[in-house]
Amino acid sequence: MRSYSLIAPAKINLYLEIIGDRPDGYHELVMILQSIDLADQIDIQTNGDQNIRVYCDHPQVPTDKSNLAYRAVELMAQEFPTVWNTHGGVDITIHKQIPVAAGLAGGSTNAAAVLVGIDLLWDLGLTQSELEELGAILGSDVPFCLGGGTAIATGRGERLSPLSILDNIYIVLAKYRSLEVSTGWAYKTYKQNFANSYLQDRESLTTRTQAVHSGAIVKAILSKDPGQIAQNIHNDLERVVLPAYPQVLQLRELFAATEGVLGTMMSGSGPSVFAIVESLAQAELVKQHIQSAILDPDLELFITRTANHGIKLAPS
């Protein structure tokens, strides 16, 4: 039986701006997405029957059809029924390192890895663009997770414009294990409170999107300046999540007050909070400070770095 092991990196948002409504019910967004080297490993192999089986070592990860990795196989079976009938089902094992329900695209990057794995197992020879089109059916973050790196994402997040490689910038990441924030709730609440700020016409939406391409954070990324990047990170969803979730607000305020932190922000719809620092040594000091300030075993802390890749084969 054929098998592959793939590395599936998490992502953070360096920038998230909600600029309007979309006819499909989603929001029109401008985001800057960044891969980090905190990653899951996905093992995928043919199993000789017509079943899809998902295994995971994390109790919070579902292994049924609600798992995006499972749905990725279903999608490929629907798109390539003849190949599915020839090769049959697959077993997927998710070795979980990315925190669950954290705003880090853990489910999306797992699904992206499965798309790549199926492409390899079935010898489909799909292009990156073809994989991204399939990924967009599964979720807005999946297309980015495939190629990873650093990119401006527009539309509902599926339209990507890659930026120059931004690697080896150190990040300290914090997330309470038991705390979850519904992405749907966050966007719905934002609309209820701030819909009067939405741009209404296509020309205005296009102009705002183009402005970000030449904005301060993109210039900082192009110059690979961690301090300037940290000064220009932004997330509109903080306006609704932080008042409703005091633990997330506390984390953000503590990071902001910690020596050596260049900038801090919530990722996506939360509840993860990250801090940008200058070096691994500084990251260690910041992590120790947060651990000593919040003596709660429910709090997870990670040291990671920006990464210049998305899904890739695991080292043999």
pLDDT reported for residue 226: 95
> Is residue 96 annotated as a catalytic residue, yes or no?
no
Domain that holds residue 84: 3-165
Please say which residue of 165, 200, 235 terminates a domain: 165
pLDDT reported for residue 175: 97
pLDDT in tens, 156-211: 888 899 998 898 899 999 999 999 999 999 999 999 999 898 888 778 878 888 88
β-strands 234-235, 3-21: how paired? parallel
Kindly state the tokens that stand for 133.
């089109």
Give the span between the Cα atoms of 303 and 314, in whole angstroms: 20
pLDDT in tens, 136-145: 999 999 999 9
**Which position among 141, 175, 236, 287 bears the catalytic label?**
141
DSSP 259-275: TT--EEEE-TTSS-EEE
In this model, does residue 214 exceed pLDDT 80? no
- Band of pLDDT at residue 213, cut at 50, 70 and 90: confident
**Which position among 11, 91, 175, 236 bears the catalytic label?**
11
Are residues 179 and 121 part of one domain? no
Give the span between the Cα atoms of 296 and 81, in whole angstroms: 50
Q: How far is CA 151 from the centre of its chain?
A: 12
Are residues 262 and 232 part of one domain? yes
Q: Backbone phi, then psi, for 226, in 5-degree steps?
A: -55, -40
Q: Identity (one letter) of the amino acid at 86?
A: T
> Is residue 11 annotated as a catalytic residue, yes or no?
yes
Look at the chain and count its residues: 316
What percentage of the chain carries pLDDT values higher than 90?
84
Q: Looking at the domain assignment, is residue 310 inside a domain?
A: no
Q: Which residues pair with 56 in a beta bridge?
A: 94
Kindly state the tokens that stand for 148.
């990873």
Query: What value does the mean pLDDT take over residues 281-306?
Result: 97
Measured CA to CA in angstroms, residue 277 lies from 51, 81, 166, 289, 305 at distances of 46, 48, 14, 13, 10
Are residues 194 and 220 part of one domain? yes
Please say which residue of 108, 136, 165 terminates a domain: 165
In this model, does residue 313 exceed pLDDT 80? yes
Q: What is the CATH number of the domain that holds 278?
A: 3.30.70.890
Are residues 156 and 295 part of one domain? no
pLDDT in tens, 105-149: 999 999 999 999 999 999 999 999 999 999 999 999 999 999 999
Are residues 154 and 10 part of one domain? yes
pLDDT in tens, 231-284: 999 999 999 999 999 999 999 999 999 999 999 999 999 999 999 999 999 999
pLDDT in tens, 153-164: 998 888 899 998
Contact (CB, 8 A) for 6 and 90: no
Q: Backbone phi, then psi, for 101, in 5-degree steps?
A: 50, 55
Q: Looking at the domain assignment, is residue 62 inside a domain?
A: yes
